[in-house]
Amino acid sequence: MITLYGIKNCDTMQKAFKWLDAKKIRYSFHNYKEAGIDKATLELWLNHFAADKLINTKSTTYRGFTDAEKAGIGNKAKAIISMMNNTSVIKRPVWDLGNGQFFLGWDEEELSKLI
């Protein structure tokens, strides 16, 4: 089953939910704004995505980071701490498609190929 990670009220997440529902694709949703995100999950994601892709460097949250925090995203351990402490900086959605396959963001055409 697909697990979708993100924040419920995000416009991009809403597109993903509607698309999955319209296609009658079963999924579970992990709202990391409410439930948080653990270190092990972030480590797994960082095996599939570069930190500067997983962290939304265009977000308001990221722009509020200090220069030291911004510089820290190149360091895996510091990036994980930043994401755990500021979940809204994580790009959305993160798709766990199962079988070790992941996708980041929203691209209907690409997702149609993968699912």
Which residues are marked as active site? Answer: 10
- Measured between its terminal Cα atoms, the distance across the chain in Å is 10
Alpha-carbon distance of 46 to 28, in angstroms, equals 21
| CA-wise closest residue to 88 among 6, 17, 14, 4 | 6
Q: The tokens 């701490």 sit on which residue?
A: 81
d(CA 7, CA 60): 15
